[in-house]
Amino acid sequence: MLNLYIIVFLLLITNISSSSDLPRISCYRISGVPTRNNDIEGETYKSSLRFIGKTSPVTEILINQANFYWIGLISIGTPKRTFRIDFDTGSTDLWVPSIQCHSSCENKAKYDSNKSNTSRANGAAFRIVYGDGSFANGVFVNDTVTIGNLSILNQAFAQAKNISGFSTSTFDGVLGLAYSSLGTSGQTSIFYNMWQQGLITNPIFSFYFNPDPDAYPGGELIFGDVDPTKYSGSITYANVIIHAYWEFMMNNIQVNNTIICSNCRAILDTGTTLIIGPKIQIALLHRTIGAIFDEETGLYMVDCYTRLLSSFPDVNFSIGNSTFTLSVLQYLLIFNDDDKYICYTVFQGVNLHDNTGALIWILGDYFLNRFYSIYDLNLNRIGLAKSISYDYFQLSPISLFTYSNKTIQFSFNPIFIWLLFVCNILLK
């Protein structure tokens, strides 16, 4: 049985006076490698997709990210109570467990309004439902939310009295960073309040994720600007077309000479682990790559024992005037099962829709690991640039790609094994 390993997330934020002093969160990945269990009972793991019912119904249960996500620390109340938070560009509301949440909130920090001098009653009802049926519900309250030494006064957030599907997650709650239209009506999101209260110089935030599991820190969320030390080259911008998710138009996705989709809609979502696309388009992508569908996991697998690395094509995403490329060692997941290595891709087919009913692509963490992402509320646009960690490649067993001409030092990295273990649900 593989040992679990944990890298604790830290919070490092300073006063606002210049670009280098903007509020930022140093993100550290918490990763675990569970034992294999194809009959998971009780509460499900949290889905990697964050949809709240304002979209078309989502019936598929997706691969979770219970042991692969990015969190930081915030504090709520006076005196302060610290919470481990998952920052999510695919939802809007902030919620943490309430002191009234009992069995389903074990081992999580809880908010007690009676112990905060700055707590104010709100009373609005809260409920959020995720793609796998997990949920949180409760009631809104207003209090001071602190990120480092930056305090957002009278911030509305939900104290969750009931949660389901989070018993295995190491974070306490979720802080949404999408547009207000996805949030609970009448409540102002924390990022909007940061800007309205004059706490940040620009209504922009940006993410850097490092795909190297041993990197310290593992990433950064910065409020108010971008960090030019975390990307190379120029930034490509695309306009947000619907003010809900951070949704924009891609020119196309291309593999070799095959166009997988044209004029396709996409969102950037830090709350999604994989890269998700419509089933038909994902099937075409995998036929071009040379992958076959594995019904047990809902993923596509490839032969990585005898195929040359050079036989795997790049996957190219055309956005704006730029092409964002994922090469084979950037889109394969490699794990060990009874001393046999199995290789899957990070692309998964699920028919999901935006608020207009159009099919969408979701560019999750395996895309954002390679490309620095910017979210500009003032100009309603997203920005992408090549991450400084773009060239990191996951380490793999030396027995794989045996006939490859490439000389790469391989050693097995177990970070991806959970993807198969927790996915015991067929996507039909």
Using one digit for the tens of pLDDT, what is the confidence trace for 344-360? 999 999 999 998 999 99
Which pTM does this prediction carry?
0.82
Is 112 one of the annotated active-site residues of the chain? Answer: no
Q: What's the rounded Cα separation, in Å, for the pair 412 and 249? A: 37
The pLDDT value recorded for residue 26 is 62
- In angstroms, rounded to a whole number, what is the distance separating the alpha carbons of residues 336 and 350? 26
88 part of the active site: yes
Check residue 385 and give its pLDDT. Answer: 98
Please tell me the predicted confidence (pLDDT) of residue 400.
Answer: 87
Write down all domains in the chain, each with its CATH number in brackets: 19-208 (2.40.70.10), 228-421 (2.40.70.10)
Strands (E) in 109-229, as ranges, are: 120-129, 135-147, 150-164, 173-176, 204-209, 219-223
pLDDT of res. 220? 86
The pLDDT of residue 29: 53
* pLDDT attached to residue 333: 87
Q: What is the pLDDT of residue 1?
A: 25
Among candidate residues 86, 132, 227, 269, the one labeled active-site is: 269
Low-confidence ranges of the chain (pLDDT < 70): 1-23, 26-69, 131-132, 216, 395-397, 403-428
Query: In degrees, to the nearest 5, what angle opens at C-alpha 151 toward C-alphas 146 and 157?
Result: 60
Amino acid identity, position 11: L
Given the residues 86, 88, 132, 376, the one annotated as active site:
88
What pLDDT does residue 28 have? 54
pLDDT at residue 38, as a whole number = 29
What is the dihedral angle through the alpha carbons of 219, 222, 226, 228, rounded to the nearest 10 degrees? Answer: -40
Are the C-beta atoms of residues 338 and 244 closer than 8 Å to each other?
no
